[in-house]
Structure 1
């Protein structure tokens, strides 16, 4: 299993990154193979054909499991993450990838944002979105029992969808 974390936070090395990596580790039992902090891709995201962006897209496309993490901005995922997702081709850009929509935010009223805003885009790109999205309050994500409960509940599904030897 090749696991990748994609982080759409405009701040490098953010809490979103730490939380997304933690989620990937708890879902798989090991550290992710790749972590793509989208902000590091720079202005190449604003056009087409940038080699660094293309390499990141290929890393995601060749992954078995991808945690897509974003802070909540204006009740949805960031424009930065959208710029990256726009680099994937049509309805098959994430075919064969099991995607986990994950968001951090400051208030509970946005708890449905991963399922209502991020998951549809991932599904539109062809990802397998069998797991519900996860939303955590950013200030206490590391100690939130919802993270480990989510991982415990959904790890068997990840194992069934993505065999360890894949």
Structure 2
């Protein structure tokens, strides 16, 4: 799961809904009526994502299986981070897990320090929050590594984290 909308000068999201809702948005949204067409790369990503999600019954890689695993991974990471003292924000079922670093100057360093452990962290200076973004194919071991190395770095390397 990832969004490269800004990199491609594209919109940051899209919606999947009933035809009635989509029609209503198309006819009343000024951005849709007066804006630019979506970038082809973003449209290709949307189509590929929807094909994967809708591909039920194609073995273990089917859409329902992937969505269930992503949900499980998301809940596991949130519960684990809470257990070790983090305040976790956001929707309980979302694979995007906000974590607050109280030292904006250290956020780029935190991101770079996570890379050797193959943990990609999106960092944004205050008041926005850095994000853990999970993948449906991510193994339990990988989720545990995220918690372990994030905690190690934030505590041992003297980062200040909000524990309220």
Q: Same fold (TM over 0.5)?
A: no
Normalized against structure 2, the TM-score is what? 0.31
Normalized against structure 1, the TM-score is what? 0.31
Higher relative contact order (CA 8 A, sep 6+): 1
Structure whose residues are more often strand by fraction: 1
Greater CA radius of gyration, 1 or 2?
A: 2
